Amino acid sequence: MSFQLPKIPYEQTALSPTISKETMDFHFGKHHKAYIDNLNKLLEDSPLKSATLEEIVNKSSGGMFNNAAQAWNHTFYWYCISPNSQDYKPSDNLDKELTKSFGGKDKFLEQFSASAMGNFGSGWTWLVKDSSGKLSIVNTSNADTPITKGLIPLLTVDVWEHAYYIDYRNARKGYLDAFFKSLNWKFASERFDANEVFNCTAVMK
């Protein structure tokens, strides 16, 4: 069975004005969908046809990798924000690690923002956990994703211009400030505790 756009846990108008309906129409409905459609087409004659999305990302290269990784990154991204973000905060476990690694949640957000601002060109900025449990912020370019390096993503922000150009034009900082106010700390905390890569396949079949 081919991959589909993920079931995201909110209405497409629910993130407005942080992310407008128009941006959802394009970013989710066109950009994300195109990566999935391209991937499905490439899988038709591939030995990876029955693999999970996570396996495809880890085993493919070239065009298949680009489309599979972008399909994965975007699905993960939609779970990192929530219209109910004001109700969520980092779990005690995650909060302790944020303090240890960055000096607390607010200091983390400053460093996350600076890293996302400095991520040149198209890419993603991530909060990840390594196999020893240590947190760090990493930037990736284009379709690259930290799951191929054995890292567990807790949060991401898409800094491709298509993520913010409709709502914020060239003001990446305005997008980041608004995005960080809508972070889904419940999701990030679950990722921290689960200690395994999020199963995007499960919400895309």
- When asked if residue 158 is in the footprint of Mn ion (CB under 5 A), the reply is yes
Rounded to an integer, what distance in angstroms lies between the CA atom of residue 92 and that of residue 34?
39
Residue 19 or residue 137: which is nearer to Mn ion going by CB? 19
Q: Please, what is the minimum distance in Å from the beta carbon of residue 162 to Mn ion?
A: 5
Q: Please, what is the minimum distance in Å from the beta carbon of residue 123 to Mn ion?
A: 10
* Structure tokens given for 10: 């909110």
**Residue closest to Mn ion (Cβ):** 158
Q: Please, what is the minimum distance in Å from the beta carbon of residue 98 to Mn ion?
A: 26
CA angle 145, 149, 152 (to 5 degrees): 75
Q: Please, what is the minimum distance in Å from the beta carbon of residue 119 to Mn ion?
A: 13
Cis bond leading into 83, ω under 30°?
Answer: no
Q: Nearest 5°: phi and psi at 94?
A: -70, -40
Hey, which residues between 162 and 191 contact Mn ion (CB under 5 A)?
163
- When asked if residue 144 is in the footprint of Mn ion (CB under 5 A), the reply is no
- When asked if residue 72 is in the footprint of Mn ion (CB under 5 A), the reply is no
Among 160, 179, 180, 192, binds Mn ion (CB under 5 A): 160
Q: Nearest 5°: phi and psi at 147?
A: -70, -20
Rounded to an integer, what distance in angstroms lies between the CA atom of residue 129 and that of residue 137?
9
Where do contacts with Mn ion occur on this chain (CB under 5 A)?
Answer: 158, 160, 163
